[in-house]
């Protein structure tokens, strides 16, 4: 047996499997601590640990068994061929639009480890495509597996790669791009792409799921199918997020990339447009626009790629008992920007004033947003807000704190001038700022 026949296995477990002379797809029996497990050895993802063997048992579920020095492994024969191998690519249908699916990892590309109950980012876009054959009826699909990451491990340099990938597909002529992404930081990434990929001719839709795709309750299938349909056909050309509108598998709602937020830890309808109506609703093969304020699809437009981000920007949430000295730490670390998540209309305690003054003297850009999430910063109402403006803190209108962070990273990636950065921060670049705001689902 060679390592090649045991993909994903490492260390002690790899040794034990090789010693037992088994390979992936073999039917094996494991004796561990008086228990017997039988099943087909399945490959593990590159994120796997070096402690578990995973077998697919008779019920179809995967079971992970921790290997100890006393574990016994026996080869029982060749297993039935595993069913999750990708089928041959479907024929190209000239009537369908071309859509690229770029996968980055996340729950939508995950499956459950049934022993631990935990989920791994293990399925590629290609697997998904075979798991959800419906998508081939919506578009001719091109697949790229870019990363296999939990979204909390996505960094600004991944945004750059992702923006470049999306632009590449668009330049190659697709009618839309769908990006599979973990939901945890999907809104950060959608904001980043909104600034990085400008002058879009077609939609770029991020899609994720709150339940992994091998659970019956998964929201992956509907979100992906609807996102693919919308990417290929919708009349808008923006970076957007497509997720469940309600808890039922009925409609996907499309949110503007700079205006969306994950507002629930687990529900399918976790994603909400903040301060604006969503862009559109997708139900079966029907797309309903929910706003007139959107950039129209226009295949003749040419993408302008500005994928550079400055990583030395922090988002700092103010709170009662906040230690103002932390501001100094960022100044000393050579940071170029701080986005404050202040209270109410855009306030922080007066104990921060001297530290903020010092940061701004050191050429940092300091912007103010609100931890209220909904509504608009207004630093002309209270004298404290006016004090902060005098110090040089920039009020950031109705920008979401997370979008403000991403925008500051992007703006400081475009210019070396803090003065110019401050101007750009309050300029509406990708629909992130508007004059009128809506609260909750209070839009017309």
Q: Kindly name the residue from 184, 214, 219, 398 that is annotated as catalytic.
A: 184
Should residue 148 be labelled a site residue for a second copy when binding is judged by CB under 8 A? no
Should residue 390 be labelled a site residue for a second copy when binding is judged by CB under 8 A? no
Compute the C-alpha angle 269/271/272, nearest 5°.
Answer: 105
Widest CA span in the chain: 79
Q: Which stretch of DSSP H or E encloses residue 314?
A: strand 313-317
Helix or strand or coil: residue 299? coil
Q: State which of residues 3, 263, 416, 427 lies at the interface with a second copy (CB under 8 A).
A: 263
Should residue 219 be labelled a site residue for a second copy when binding is judged by CB under 8 A? no
Q: State which of residues 118, 171, 248, 284 lies at the interface with a second copy (CB under 8 A).
A: 118
Active site residue 250: no
- Beta strand 176-180 with 98-103: parallel, antiparallel or unpaired? parallel
Contact region with a second copy (CB under 8 A), list: 95-103, 117-125, 136-144, 195-203: 117-125
Should residue 256 be labelled a site residue for a second copy when binding is judged by CB under 8 A? no
Q: State which of residues 105, 156, 201, 277 lies at the interface with a second copy (CB under 8 A).
A: 156
- Compose the 46-75 pattern: x for residues touching a second copy by CB under 8 A, - for all others: -x-x--------------------------
In this complex, which beta carbon is closest to a second copy, that of residue 75 or of residue 115? Answer: 115
**Residue 180's beta-bridge partner residues?**
103, 207
Nearest distance, CB of residue 287 and a second copy, angstroms? 25
Active site residue 184: yes
Q: Could you give the CA distance from residue 93 to residue 136 in angstroms, rounded to a whole number?
A: 9
DSSP conformational letter for 292 = S
Nearest distance, CB of residue 66 and a second copy, angstroms? 13
Alpha carbon of 318 to those of 344, 350, 403: distances in Å?
Answer: 11, 12, 17
In this complex, which beta carbon is closest to a second copy, that of residue 61 or of residue 318? Answer: 318
User: Could you tell me if 159 and 192 are in contact, meaning their C-beta atoms sit under 8 angstroms apart?
Assistant: yes
Q: State which of residues 5, 142, 164, 269 lies at the interface with a second copy (CB under 8 A).
A: 269
Q: State which of residues 37, 61, 114, 374 lies at the interface with a second copy (CB under 8 A).
A: 374
Q: Could you give the CA distance from residue 318 to residue 388 in angstroms, rounded to a whole number?
A: 14
Token duo for residue 391: 């110090």
Size of residue set near a second copy by CB under 8 A: 81
Query: 434 Cβ partners below 8 Å, 6+ apart?
Result: 275, 276, 293, 398, 428
In this complex, which beta carbon is closest to a second copy, that of residue 244 or of residue 295? Answer: 244
Catalytic residues: 107, 183-184, 262
């Amino acid at each position: 047996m060679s390592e090649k026949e045991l993909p994903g296995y490492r260390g002690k477990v790899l040794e034990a499997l090789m010693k037992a002379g088994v390979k992936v797809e073999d039917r094996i029996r494991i004796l561990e601590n008086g228990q017997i497990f039988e099943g087909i050895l399945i490959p593990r993802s590159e994120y796997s640990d070096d402690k578990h063997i995973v077998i697919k048992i008779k019920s179809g579920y995967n079971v992970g068994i921790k290997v100890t020095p006393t574990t016994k492994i026996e080869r029982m024969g060749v297993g039935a061929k595993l069913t999750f191998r990708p089928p041959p690519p479907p024929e190209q249908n000239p009537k369908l639009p071309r859509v690229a699916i770029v996968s980055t990892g996340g729950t939508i590309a995950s499956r459950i480890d049934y022993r631990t109950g935990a989920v791994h980012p293990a399925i590629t876009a290609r697997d998904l495509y075979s798991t959800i054959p419906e998508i081939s009826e919506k578009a001719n699909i091109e697949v790229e597996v870019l990363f296999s990451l939990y979204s909390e491990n996505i960094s600004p340099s991944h945004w750059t790669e992702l923006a470049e990938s999306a632009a590449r597909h668009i330049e190659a002529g697709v009618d839309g791009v769908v990006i599979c992404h973990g939901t945890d930081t999907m809104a950060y990434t959608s904001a980043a792409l909104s600034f990085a990929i400008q002058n879009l001719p077609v939609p770029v839709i991020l899609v994720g799921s709150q339940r992994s795709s091998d659970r019956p309750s998964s929201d992956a299938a509907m979100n992906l199918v609807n996102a693919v349909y919308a990417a290929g056909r919708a009349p808008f050309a923006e970076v957007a997020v497509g997720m469940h509108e309600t808890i039922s598998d009925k409609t996907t709602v499309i949110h503007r990339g700079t205006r969306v937020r994950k507002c629930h830890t687990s529900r399918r309808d976790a994603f909400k447009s903040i301060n604006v109506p969503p862009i559109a609703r997708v139900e079966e093969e029907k797309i309903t626009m929910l706003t007139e304020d959107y950039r129209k699809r226009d295949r003749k437009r040419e993408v302008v790629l500005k994928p550079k981000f400055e990583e030395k920007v922090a988002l700092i949430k103010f709170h009662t008992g906040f230690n103002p000295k932390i501001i100094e730490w960022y100044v000393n670390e050579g940071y170029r920007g701080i986005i404050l998540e202040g209270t109410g209309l855009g306030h922080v305690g007066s104990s921060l004033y001297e530290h903020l003054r010092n940061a701004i003297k050191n050429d940092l850009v300091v912007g103010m947003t609100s931890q209220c999430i909904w509504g608009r910063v207004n630093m002309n109402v209270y004298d404290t807000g006016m004090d902060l403006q005098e110090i040089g803190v920039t009020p950031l209108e109705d920008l979401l704190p997370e979008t403000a962070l991403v925008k500051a990273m992007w703006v400081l990636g475009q210019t070396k001038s803090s003065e110019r950065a401050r101007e750009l921060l309050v300029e509406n670049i990708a629909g992130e700022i508007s004059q009128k705001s809506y609260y909750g689902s209070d839009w017309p």
